[in-house]
Structure 1
């Protein structure tokens, strides 16, 4: 009995000791990486966080919302996507999405064009360029969704006359009608000849802050973001999932224009 207790206590002590050693080793590796990388890469911005990855000996180095990978000694650095081959997903992309997650109630909705179908009870935000073909396709699919309010942030990133079109749409007497007429019916927005203040520069800055690099970019009330257009079926499923995940009272919205 006594020998059994001693044996069990020994195993517990060994496990604790091993855990302590591993923890100290991890801290030592982090300290080494934090010291070595800035010394060898003088232009490297300050390191915010160093964490272990699922791969032994490989560490994630976070600089703001940028992700690098380093060995435990800081001798080698990798930049790119870390792929989980079992799930065929990018661990890097998942991490960046978490770092750049957008709280829906923090979006400056006053800077968006607003329209709704039905009750408008469900809500999404979309960053869109008026000359984006995928945005037009997505806008068509949006018309099939019931009881949704859509907040469109004009994001003229494609060049050409995208900035002018965005300004004409925003400055129109009926923003939502002008936007939908262009996106759904290809009716060119009338050129605005007066003086009008637009949120376009703020939208561009917002896109840089959240690393929105293309259009459309879709934001749901639970913070889920999807880059690129999706069809009506997938959109409906994500709206249901986001509504289930969103706590009551999370979002606040200004009055919307009925479609």
Structure 2
């Protein structure tokens, strides 16, 4: 999880998600770069706050190159430039604050995104307001894990995820789709999502829309606007957005096996934490 957390937060690799709003330069294309990242001209002296900052970043992802490190405007922190973004690292090297990724605060000792943990509870409460009948669900018998995915019919990564829906189900993962027309309420994209949610067979309509970009026009009383607004409130920055049952954001497009491994790991960690709490309570 260490590498996943920092790579996702810094955007050092592809975010595997389509931009929230249209991008004339081609938002659906995966980012490409042929540039070689800059590195520090000289390694900071061992035992200094600068050295601890570099070590903390390297601990989370050894592949990431630190371009510069020095004094920060925040007391008790050093300022580092990593992948063209600013990272603030506490002088003891424990906490990393990433303002460019929605203000993520990471505890390097526990691998926890403390900002994400704080948001997770709010997300689960908001998602509970969407009736189960308003979700488009693709699930295997007796799923091992369930994720909520905010999706869009125009997004390339959303199409890629859905093209592998059978593989997610084969991994024991149930996918519950919610609508997030990233071009906004009233757009052609929005109208397509409404047509999907108004179809007699929503699953087939969604599959057809993602495959061809076309959907039979329909209208009815629907919750697409509600789902879109909740997507905004849970911090969606691009589609698809995958959320665990506990409200933890797992990224944009994540391959089926990688998602299963992440969910298994999270379940094991949760079980271990519960066992530790139970043991402490019985002591």
| C-alpha distance in 1 between matches for 2:94 and 2:257 | 23
The answer (yes or no) to whether the contact 1:215–1:227 under 8 Å persists in 2 is: no
Mapping 1:179-218, distance limit 5 Å: 179-183=206-210, 185-186=211-212, 188-192=214-218, 194=219, 196-218=220-242
Matched, 1:170 2:194: no
| C-alpha distance in 2 between matches for 1:219 and 1:164 | 25
Partner of 1:132 in structure 2?
155
Compared CA separation, residues 70 and 83, structure 1 to 2 (3 A) = closer
Could you say what secondary structure the match of 2:209 adopts? helix
1:152 shift after superposition:
0.5
1:81 shift after superposition:
5.1
The answer (yes or no) to whether the contact 1:222–1:245 under 8 Å persists in 2 is: no
Mapping 1:60-99, distance limit 5 Å: 71=74, 82-84=87-89, 91=98, 92-93=103-104, 94-99=113-118
| C-alpha distance in 2 between matches for 1:141 and 1:89 | 35
In the TM superposition, what whole-angstrom CA distance separates every residue of 1:123-155 from its partner, at most 9, and x where no partner exists?
A: 110001111111111122332122332111110
Partner of 2:247 in structure 1?
223
| C-alpha distance in 2 between matches for 1:87 and 1:189 | 50
| C-alpha distance in 2 between matches for 1:220 and 1:176 | 21
Matched, 1:142 2:165: yes
Moved runs in structure 1, 4+ residues, more than 4 A? 69-72, 83-91, 102-106
Moved more, 224-233 or 106-115: 106-115
Partner of 1:157 in structure 2?
182
Compared CA separation, residues 87 and 205, structure 1 to 2 (3 A) = same
1:207 shift after superposition:
1.7
Partner of 1:20 in structure 2?
none
| C-alpha distance in 2 between matches for 1:201 and 1:246 | 34
Compared CA separation, residues 126 and 246, structure 1 to 2 (3 A) = farther
The answer (yes or no) to whether the contact 1:220–1:242 under 8 Å persists in 2 is: no
The answer (yes or no) to whether the contact 1:112–1:151 under 8 Å persists in 2 is: yes
Largest Rg, 1 or 2: 1
Compared CA separation, residues 244 and 71, structure 1 to 2 (3 A) = closer
* Alignment TM-score, normalising by the size of structure 2: 0.51
Could you say what secondary structure the match of 1:180 adopts? helix
In the TM superposition, what whole-angstrom CA distance separates every residue of 1:182-204 from its partner, at most 9, and x where no partner exists?
A: 32x32722111x5x111122112
| C-alpha distance in 2 between matches for 1:175 and 1:240 | 29
Could you say what secondary structure the match of 2:238 adopts? coil
| C-alpha distance in 1 between matches for 2:97 and 2:164 | 28
Partner of 2:80 in structure 1?
none
Partner of 1:253 in structure 2?
none
1:84 shift after superposition:
4.6
* Alignment TM-score, normalising by the size of structure 1: 0.56
Could you say what secondary structure the match of 1:114 adopts? strand
Partner of 1:113 in structure 2?
136
The answer (yes or no) to whether the contact 1:222–1:242 under 8 Å persists in 2 is: no
Matched, 1:235 2:272: no
